[in-house]
A = this chain, B = another copy of it.
């Protein structure tokens, strides 16, 4: 599986980095450590200085790869969506029935990643938890409209549209496929966070997986004529 995964790895917009971190040993250490560190202390108090200390290097070296911590977060989330799309391909491969396809797609988008992926230097489980908590900070910013970031959300958009298309296969007249799918993705993220920190906002019992079940039902009922 190594080879295939390493192919995915490159599918990150160049505009997020100065030099692709996956092409050097230091770069990879930056990725690994930043995931650990953001998980630990949160993106807000995450700084290049702290990251530099944790990889036993210096800030200047990190600037060779990313021009700001914001760009680094974009890199990570972009990578995550690109990786998720890749997993989606596998999940849908050779599955014909649209209902089945949609069910599987939603399961993928709303369940926790549980197994690690061998052959990857990136810890996807930790990364997914970063995406849940911090990714909104990547777009909820005043810079979101800048041209150079136009391409950055492509991965996410693409994923939404891919699943949206399955919805349309089932009900070609449904008017809001993207709205529905992005609601599911963001919603699942939120519910997972609520389940852990603000349980009264959800009906998810920690441990069980009501989230996936709920969103599957919601989607199918919503798109039924």
Contacts and interface: CB of A to CB of B under 8 A. Distances in A.
A64 to B, nearest CB: 13
Interface stretch (A12-20, A99-107, A188-196): A188-196
A41 interface: yes
Contacts of A141: 42, 44
Contacts of A191: 179, 182-183
A145 B142 CA distance: 28
Contacts of A145: 197
Interface in A107-161: 133-134, 136-137, 139-142, 144-145, 153, 156-157, 160-161
A197 B144 contact: yes
Q: How large is the interface on A (under 10, 10 to 19, 20 to 34, 35 or more residues)?
A: 35 or more
A63 interface: no
Interface stretch (A23-31, A51-59, A88-96, A170-178): A170-178
A176 B136 CA distance: 24
- Dominant secondary structure at the A interface: helix
B144 A176 contact: no
A180 B183 CA distance: 11
Contact of A136 (B136, B144, B183): B136
A167 B104 CA distance: 28
Contacts of A157: 198, 200-201
A161 B200 contact: yes
30 contacts: A42-B141, A45-B142, A134-B140, A136-B140, A137-B137, A139-B197, A145-B197, A153-B198, A157-B198, A157-B200, A157-B201, A160-B200, A176-B202, A177-B203, A178-B201, A178-B202, A179-B203, A179-B211, A179-B214, A180-B214, A180-B218, A182-B194, A183-B187, A183-B191, A186-B186, A217-B222, A218-B218, A218-B222, A221-B221, A221-B224
Interface of A: 41-42, 44-45, 133-134, 136-137, 139-142, 144-145, 153, 156-157, 160-161, 175-180, 182-183, 186-187, 190-191, 193-194, 197-198, 200-204, 210-211, 214, 217-218, 221-222, 224
3 closest Cβ contacts across the A-B interface? Answer: A183-B187, A42-B142, A221-B221
